[in-house]
């Protein structure tokens, strides 16, 4: 949307936030919001009225605010609940990302042992082998689409092996993941997504039946055991948790690897600095997380109790959406916030969220990115964009900051 259009807009819609046009100019728009309208009105269709948060201090405060709930059942009475938009909504939404304490704590405890620092470090050799194997396939061609050939398959292979699901199904996961992430309440999109999510549920039902018959030492088998004990996990929670782990287990990392590679190739001085000083890799990853945050907007939070923010009453049932991308470009927190600086000090970004819902897989995502980028730069020292920067397009997507493709030569 142009500068003129921005000034005339009083309420943003879900479709506008999800548009490619918005993604292209989002950072400038956020900058204006942080200056003059840090609480910006949204119209979210069936979800009702909402507010977009753009400042870092507000984001930190609200991500921990107990007046905001992830589970709408903790806000709406039985009479107020909206009808399900999708047939399989109940089956796929009973996961920890949509829950509040104490349910959130219970659900998170069931899987967090698989994501401890010790467990993640044990995956290092496996991730390195996957990275090398993927590059072995494309290196003779001197060209690849980074997303399709490298950034997507690496994390999906890792999470598939952790969960114990067949690698040959990974392209299906990609389609189903997009149906979940690209959610829209437009009638034609709802019908298409409902069909795709129905396929996902059928797949999960078949997978769980097989795991019940043949349990193994994987994470899904452990979750099925918790479900069979009856007190820790319901059947809906089981399916929802597996879905969340499949989607969240790769989607953020795909964007981290892709966006970081893109940022480095758009900032040749920083790319050369990283080549000369590989010990800056950890710092470079944190800067990539800040500069092009893989998750641009948070999933929704419902207001359980009214409160005042910037002189405006936030009413019960209002939706709060926080722009992590904007918070991570806040000039009050990050000097020269629009500069990509891999040596940035005190980089207090919130790309993985904050508070109870801080990303469980953050350590895994960082390790996957470290190995993926280090291996790419070592084995393909002459990487460059195949085409011009202006040809690179951001996806029209509500939640994520994701490129449609990233063709590179080397």
Structural domains of the chain, ranges and CATH numbers in brackets: 3-409 (1.10.630.10)
Q: Look up the pTM and report it.
A: 0.92
Q: Considering Cα of 148, then 156, then 272, then 296, what sign does the dihedral take?
A: positive
Q: Share the mean pLDDT of the chain.
A: 91
The per-residue b/e assignment along 33-69, b for 16 or more CB within 10 angstroms, e otherwise, is: bbeeebbbebebeebeebbbbbbbebbbebbebebbb
Per residue in 153-172, pLDDT (tens digit) is: 999 999 999 999 988 888 88
Nearest CA-CA partner of 34 in 348, 338, 339, 326: 326
Burial of 345 (0-12, 13-18, 19+ CB in 10 A): exposed
- Residue 185: what pLDDT? 60
Helix or strand or coil: residue 403?
Answer: strand
CA atoms lying within 13 Å on the CB side of residue 33? 29
**pLDDT tier for residue 352 given thresholds of 50, 70 and 90:** very high
- Residue 6: what pLDDT? 42
pLDDT at residue 2 above 60? no
- Mean pLDDT, rounded, for 35-55: 94
Which has more pLDDT, 92 or 157? 157
Query: Which residue in the block uniquely carries the two structure tokens 């979210």?
Result: 44
Residue 92 β-bridge partners: none
Question: Which of 79-93, 278-292, 332-346 is the least confident region?
Answer: 79-93
- Mean pLDDT, rounded, for 308-316: 96
- Mean pLDDT, rounded, for 55-69: 97
Per residue in 211-223, pLDDT (tens digit) is: 999 999 999 999 9
The Cα-based distances of 160 to 116, 156, 389 in angstroms read: 18, 6, 33
């Amino acid at each position: 949307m142009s500068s003129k259009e921005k000034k005339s807009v009083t309420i943003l819609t879900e479709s506008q936030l999800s548009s490619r046009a918005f993604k292209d100019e989002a950072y400038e728009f956020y900058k204006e919001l942080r200056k003059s309208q840090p609480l910006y009105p949204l119209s979210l269709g069936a979800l009702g009225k909402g507010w977009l948060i753009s400042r870092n201090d507000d984001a930190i405060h609200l991500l921990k605010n107990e007046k905001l709930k992830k589970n709408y059942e903790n806000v709406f009475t039985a009479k107020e609940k909206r009808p399900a938009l999708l047939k399989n909504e109940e089956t796929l939404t009973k996961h920890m990302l949509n829950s509040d304490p104490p349910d959130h704590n219970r659900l998170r405890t069931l899987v967090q042992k698989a994501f401890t620092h010790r467990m993640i470090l044990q995956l290092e050799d496996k991730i390195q082998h996957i990275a090398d194997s993927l590059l072995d396939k494309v290196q003779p061609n001197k060209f690849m689409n980074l997303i399709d050939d490298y950034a997507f398959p690496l994390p999906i292979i890792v999470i598939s092996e952790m969960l114990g699901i067949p690698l040959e199904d990974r392209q299906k996961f990609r389609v189903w993941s997009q149906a979940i992430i690209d959610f829209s309440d437009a009638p034609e999109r709802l019908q298409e997504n409902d069909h795709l999510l129905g396929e996902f549920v059928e797949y999960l039902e078949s997978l769980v039946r097989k795991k019940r018959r043949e349990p193994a030492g994987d994470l899904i088998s452990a979750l099925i055991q918790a479900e069979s004990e009856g007190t820790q996990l319901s059947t809906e929670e089981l399916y929802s948790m597996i879905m969340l782990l499949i989607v969240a287990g790769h989607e953020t990392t795909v964007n981290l690897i892709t966006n970081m590679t893109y940022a480095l190739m758009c900032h040749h001085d920083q790319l050369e600095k990283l080549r000369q000083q590989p010990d800056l890799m950890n710092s470079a990853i944190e800067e990539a997380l800040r500069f092009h945050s893989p998750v641009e907007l948070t999933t929704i939070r419902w207001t359980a109790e009214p409160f005042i923010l910037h002189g405006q009453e936030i009413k019960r049932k209002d939706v709060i959406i926080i722009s992590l991308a904007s918070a991570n470009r806040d000039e009050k927190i990050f000097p020269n916030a629009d500069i990509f600086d891999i040596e940035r000090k005190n980089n207090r970004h919130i790309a993985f969220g904050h508070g109870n819902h801080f990303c469980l897989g953050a350590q895994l995502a960082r390790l996957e990115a470290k190995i993926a980028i280090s291996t790419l730069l070592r084995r393909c020292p002459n990487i460059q964009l195949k085409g011009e920067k202006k040809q690179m397009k951001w996806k029209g997507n509500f939640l994520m900051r994701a490129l449609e493709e990233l063709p590179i030569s080397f």
